[in-house]
Structure formats: C-alpha cells, structure tokens
Amino acid sequence: MSDDTNDFRLEQTGSAAAAAGPEWKPVTRASTYELVIDAVEEQIMAGTLGVGDPLPAERDLAMKLGVSRASVREALRVLESLGVVRSSGGSGRGAGTFIAAMPSAALTRFLRLHVALTNFSIDDVTETRIQLERSSAILAATRADKDSLAAINAQLAMMDTPGISLETFNDADTAFHVAIAQAAGNQLFSDLTGAIRTSLRKSIFSSFSRVDDQQALMAKLQSQHHGIMDAITAGRAEDAAALTEEHIRFAASRLPGLSDT
C-alpha cells in the first residue's frame, strides 16, 4: 500500500513541496507480500490479466517472482479480501485462484469497518447516501425497465405484508433502496449504495428496536417508500429525488443514534 499512500500525499502537497524545496519523509521498506501484490496489479493494469483468468499455482508464482510461498499466500489473501481474486479449494478441474469481479462484498466490509471505527461519521455517511440515492432515483425514474421496476415492487410488497418482523422489514428496506440503485443501471452507484446502506444496517436495526411505536414508524416509512416508487414509475425524476432525500432525513431524525447532531 506504500505506493498508494505516496501517490495520494504527493498530490495533496505537490505545490507546497515544490515551493518549499525537497521534502524528507521516513523511508519504508515494502514488505515482500506487497511486491507480490504490485506484480499482480501490474498485469491487471496492463490488461494481461482479466476477469476469469487463472493465476499460476502458489508454488509456481513464488518461483517466478523469487519469493517465499508464504508471501504469495499473504498477497493472495489481500487480493481476495479486495474482491480481486477468488480461490476454489480442492485439486480437480476448476480448482485454483482466479481473477474475479466481486467488488460489492469487499466494499461493504470496507465501509462497515471504517464506519465502526468512526473514520466516517454517521452524518457524513447519511449525507453521502442522500446524494447517491438522489442520483439513483433520478436515473431510475428516467431509465428503469419493467424488470427493474418489478424488483423494486417485490420489496415494497414484502414490507406491505401485515405482521412481518422488524428484522424482515429492515432487510426488505435495504433491498428496496439497493434495487432502486440497480434500476439506475450504474454498477458503481448500486455497489456504493448497497455498501453504504448495508454498513448502516446493524445500527438502523438496533436503533429501530429502541423506538416506542415501531408499527407507526414502519407504516410512515412505508408510505414514503410508496411515494418514491410512484414518482419513479411515473418518470417524475425530480420528485423521486426530493422524496428520497426527505425519506432518508426523516428516518435519520427518528432513529436515535443515527444522527451525530
């Protein structure tokens, strides 16, 4: 990761550094596993490794790169956690490590951890959610096809079912917002929306559990959901965005602990 860190720092202090002369920083020796990651990343950036391609076996890769198998294994764990490779166990056909395309789960874990570490405040996360979901609502109202609308409606129907538990409601609520983002047809949007909503899921659930009249709040939220869906279905893009923002702000204000202020 040292390369990234330097990139970022350079960009942020570029002009100041140029004005103040050479800048001295502690030197860091990159660990061996980082060099292995860099080697894999180079192949990906160059386009010689793409989704579905196999990596050489652990032993071969270690030999090719002149490093220990333990270093290769550490590097592969990191790439796995970033959703960049997946490993299948066993030794038959289909076994081994492959370049993968699984950003969603990785992004979710990343955001969940950093929200828990309060590196991002709940207010910042809520504000980001509002901006992304406003855009998703506008795009969904403009371009959602029948299949995407049906997927959103399925979650609405779920939440309309009388007598469902708070947990089921909360899950369908998350899925409702993710389905709108998916209807917008932008993969990065829907992954970010899904990851952000999912990173808040436990907080929202435990906060909801402490609300006095849960049924009344669920009914209110659900009527807002219907309003958003009606606007999207009718293609009223600006309405859909405004109702989405109102809905998220209302929920944050009513759920204790979900607002920093």
Query: Which is closer to a copy of itself, CB of 70 or CB of 216?
Result: 70
Angle at which helices 201-209 and 187-199 pack, to 10 degrees?
A: 40
Query: In whole angstroms, how close is the CB of 14 to a copy of itself at the nearest point?
Result: 5
Query: For residues 183-222, which are near a copy of itself according to CB under 8 A?
Result: 186-189, 191-192, 194, 198, 201-202
Q: Which of 11, 145, 147, 212 binds a copy of itself (CB under 8 A)?
A: 11
The dihedrals phi and psi of 53, each to the nearest 5 degrees, come to -70, 140
Which contacts of 185-192 are long-range, i.e. CB under 8 A and separated by 24 or more positions? 185/139, 185/143, 185/144, 185/148, 186/136, 186/139, 189/132, 189/135, 189/136, 189/139, 190/136, 191/103, 191/104, 191/107, 192/107, 192/132
Query: Could you tell me which of 255, 80, 243 has the C-alpha nearest to residue 177?
Result: 243
Tell whether residue 135 is a contact of a copy of itself (CB under 8 A): yes
Tell whether residue 17 is a contact of a copy of itself (CB under 8 A): no
Written as six digits, the tokens of 60 are: 């071969």
Q: How many residues sit close enough to a copy of itself to count as binding (CB under 8 A)?
A: 81
Tell whether residue 180 is a contact of a copy of itself (CB under 8 A): no
Query: Which is closer to a copy of itself, CB of 41 or CB of 246?
Result: 41
Tell whether residue 154 is a contact of a copy of itself (CB under 8 A): yes
Q: How far apart are CA 191 and CA 220, in angstroms?
A: 27
Query: In whole angstroms, how close is the CB of 68 to a copy of itself at the nearest point?
Result: 11
Query: For residues 62-81, which are near a copy of itself according to CB under 8 A?
Result: 70, 73-75, 77-78, 80-81
3-class DSSP state of 96: strand
Query: Which is closer to a copy of itself, CB of 18 or CB of 219?
Result: 18
Q: Which of 20, 27, 45, 91 binds a copy of itself (CB under 8 A)?
A: 45
